[in-house]
Amino acid sequence: MKLRKHKLTIIVTLVLLLIISVSSFLLITKAFSKSDKKIVIKKDMPLILIPGTSATEDRFDDFITQMAAKVGDKDVIKLKVQPDGTVEWNATQNHKLVNPFIVISFADSSEETVGKQAKWVQLALKKAHTLCAFDTYNAIGHSNGGLAWTIYLEQAPRQYTQKMQKLITLGTPFDTQLPLEKKTSSGGETIVETDILQKLVAAKRKIPKSLNMISIAGEIENNSGDGVVPLESVSASKKIFDGQVASFTQKNFYGADAQHSELIGNPDVMNYIIHELYAAIDGTIPTKSAK
CA dist 138 and 135 (Å) reads 11
Which CA distances in Å does 147 have to 199, 211, 227, 262?
12, 16, 18, 19
pLDDT given at position 290: 34
- Please list the alpha-helical segments (H only) found in 102-236: 114-131, 144-155, 158-161, 195-202, 231-235
Whole-structure pTM value: 0.77
Cβ 196 vs Cβ 172: under 8 Å: no
Q: Which of 165, 79, 62, 170 is nearest to 117 (CA)?
A: 79
Q: Which of 172, 175, 202 is nearest to 191 (CA)?
A: 175
Q: What is the DSSP letter of 47?
A: E
CATH, range 47-278: 3.40.50.1820
Q: Return the domain boundaries, the chain.
A: 47-278
Q: Which helix (H) or strand (E) holds 10?
A: helix 2-38
CA dist 167 and 162 (Å) reads 11
- The one-letter code for the residue type at 254 is Y
Would you list the DSSP string of 114-144?
HHHHHHHHHHHHHHHHHHS--S-EEEEEETH
pLDDT given at position 185: 47
pLDDT given at position 166: 98
Q: What is the DSSP letter of 86?
A: -
Residue 171 backbone class (left: φ over 0; alpha: ψ -120 to 50; beta: rest): left
Q: What is the mean pLDDT of each run of 10 residues along the chain (291 residues)?
A: 52 54 41 32 78 93 92 91 95 70 95 90 95 93 97 96 97 68 48 75 97 97 86 95 98 94 94 88 45 32
Q: Compute the chain's Rg from CA coordinates.
A: 25
Q: What is the DSSP letter of 208?
A: -
pLDDT given at position 178: 32
pLDDT given at position 72: 85
Cβ 101 vs Cβ 76: under 8 Å: yes
Those residues whose C-beta lies under 8 Å from the C-beta of residue 205, and which sit 6 or more positions away, are 244
Q: Which of 279, 274, 284 is nearest to 69 (CA)?
A: 274
Q: Sign of torsion, CA 216 221 224 230?
A: negative
CA dist 105 and 127 (Å) reads 13
pLDDT given at position 92: 83
Cβ 160 vs Cβ 171: under 8 Å: no
Q: Which of 269, 272, 270, 267 is nearest to 283 (CA)?
A: 272
- SS3 category, 276: helix
Those residues whose C-beta lies under 8 Å from the C-beta of residue 18, and which sit 6 or more positions away, are none
